[in-house]
Structure 1
Amino acid sequence: MTRRNDERWYRAFWDQELLLPSVTTILGCTWAKGGIPYWSALEAARYAVENHDEIAELIAQDDEKRAVALAAGAPRRITNEAAELGKLFHRVADAQIRHQVLPLTEEEREAVAPFMATLDQFIEEMKPAYRWTEAKVYHQRLLYAGTADCGIEFGVPLPVVVRRKLVHTFPAGTLLVGDYKSGKAVYDEAGMQMTGYASCTHMDLRDETHTIVEMPKVEGGAVIHIRPDGYRVHGVMITPEMRAGWVHARRWFEALYHRAPASIGIGVRAGGLRVDDFTGIDIRVRNALATRGISTLADLEEFGRDKFLAIRYAGPDGVKKAREILAIEDRSWPLGPDEITEEEAERGAA
């Protein structure tokens, strides 16, 4: 599967070659966001209406492609701006909790000031004690990781009210895994996010030595929603059913991300494989081959490495992919003067 720009991966502390998906990456792949298509369409339409003069001018200039891109890109721009503000708030909040001064530009200071005023109110009223902040957490068996905003103990009880019913109360001093949210709303997936963090087996202490310790036992979660107009703390029950659901989400992510893409083959036609069946080769290179009458893998083998490499945009990586494709039909090219076999490369690395 092609990685999205919003994905985050961590290196396993026990194996630096092993990349672990983050809790939020797992949720992004497995959690259905039913309202997003409607919201995206609404924001695109809103942009087109509010900027109709600009859109109309582009259309009059026969630049419909740019007009469409501007309107269609509105949801992504809004999301990116919110994400950047959220990152800034997290950085400033972490620094304040650690009693550190974070250098900010005037623009950054103005953007985050309303949120920090609310954070001050939250600290004064909820009386939190922080056991850790911005700690990397890992699950050594399920192979995932994440950054838990904080381990927090409130100085006051935290009731958990669900659908107009009090289902639990965390007493003051209960250790919870906490996560700050600064967006307009808190969504159900935040509960599963807290479950993913709480279920981890190890934690990086985030000190000078980056000491790895066993994950402290947390009794639940707290989603701390900070907005300019006030705060809300959402208690999260991390039940056996929630933990089982998280294990399922992790395994479903594995199936969606790794297994499903590896289970379906490329589209083929009768009469053997063609070069243009393989989208892994740059489209410009495939087009250049087509103009030279190179269609089948037999044609590609006869065309040769040197001629292939002479095509613009082919490059060494293209040669490597072409060799892999030729090998499907037990075909090959002789090695060039600057190439070595995989066995030689492995011996050299050893």
Structure 2
Amino acid sequence: MNIAYICTEKLPSPAVKGGAIQLMIDGIAPFIAKAHHLTIFSITDPSLPMNEVTNGIEYIRFPKETYEQDVANALTKRTFDVIHVFNRPARVSQYKEAAPQSAIVLSLHNDMFSPLKITKEKAEQALKDSTMLTTVSNYIKQTVRKRYDVPEEKIRVIYSGVDEKIFVPVWTEEGQQKRNEIRKILGIKDEKVILFIGRLSKTKGPHVLLRAMRTVLSRYRNAVLVIAGGRWFSENSWDDYVRELHRLAMPFGNRVLFTNYVPAQQIPHLLLSADVFVCSSQWHEPLARVHYEAMAAGIPMITTNRGGNAEIIQHKKTGFVIDDYANPAAFAEAIHYMLVHESEAQAMARRARTEVEEKFFFSHVAERLMAVYEEAAKKRCLY
């Protein structure tokens, strides 16, 4: 089949500036391209050419300012069996009009059918023009079906994954070597490392972790909280919230480390430095890809019961799930549990790694998506 991917207008592909969608595309594209001809549309970036073919994948890039219209124009000049639109239901009808003979697969990585993001009229038209829908979690699937009458057979949950070649578990010889190297870079020796990776935004909750640190340090004087991330993907500028985080961290001195933005290729190594990884999401998280990454690295994980997070992290089986997500004391207790029950935490981490090996490598994701593409191609004339 001839397949087109239409990335969002936020970040370029490949993921030279990060982004969960772009990282997923990077991971699955080689597998899709082995079986089909794949063209990826994305915005331009100074580090990337306007057009290129790399490893059999064609990349076509347009300026951000005219991106959607440029893509629509390009679709009128090419023939695609399947067009995969990433996370932009409001643009589906525009692309369908440009390529009426193509099947449209719309994947949802956030609650994009919220009335705050799309009108009822546009949403209904997008659903009509989409041959199939995929969602990154059952939570996102249900946000659509609660608002609109979407047949069960038209929507699939496609969980994301990781690259098996770059995520090695911490208990391997290579994992231990990388752990020692990154700890040396961070200036950490025998400390208990509590790691946060994510954008520095209130929705991600690093402020709650900082407020939990007083209790954590009263129990573990050698604990260190490492906060890895920038205000917005590859940006390290400060806003009022980032300033507040540094204010909260000040009393703890060198017990809190800010790394700023960490490029995606360094995340697998950074994870290996941790004794506990914490996803402190305060919002209805669709299902943050960092869950798959921590699971793949074999790091004991704490997350919040928000959105889709608990769909792949089972409480006290593959991680620790916090219900009282806004309460710093709940995080302090969860961290204490994972550190004091070390053998149990390690068993959770090993079970989590096994789940990744069985279900959450990018090869698995690509297989699930190719099944959707084949189904969409068969039924494209029905919607």
Give the TM-score, by structure 1 length: 0.21
